[in-house]
Amino acid sequence: MDVNEIYKYIVMVIEMIATIMLVFGFGKTVILYLIAETRLLSGDQKRMDFSALRALLGSYILMGLDMYIVADLIHSLIEPTVQDLLMLGLIVIIRTTIGFFLSREIVEINHHKVRTNE
């Protein structure tokens, strides 16, 4: 087994972990949403502030995106063609932009929660 094959397996594992993280975060958010809606329908709870769920899901998405970027970087080290490097640059720009705005929204949600709790 040569080094490139090892790197390919590492990339595959990182991508699988990132995908599992995204699916887990989505599932956890959906379950918490369904619990909140069930409590609301039964009259046990007031309407839930969904910004906490959005922040939770956003944090999982950010972590997953970061892991995909790492996998793409490792992949570009294995096969550094010009097309692959351009594609990597485009993917990193898109994912970084999404991550920036998503993390900004999470910070705003957390600041809003702190202000409303004071």
pTM: 0.75
Number of Cβ within a 10 Å radius of residue 16: 12
Question: What range defines the domain where residue 17 resides?
Answer: 3-117
Number of Cβ within a 10 Å radius of residue 23: 12
For the cut 80, the answer to whether the pLDDT of residue 24 exceeds it is yes
* The pair of three-digit structure tokens given for residue 106, joined into one six-digit string: 């999470």
Total count of domains within the chain: 1
Report CA 45 to chain centroid distance, whole Å: 29
Average pLDDT in the 106-118 region?
74
Q: Which residue has the higher pLDDT, 113 or 20?
A: 20
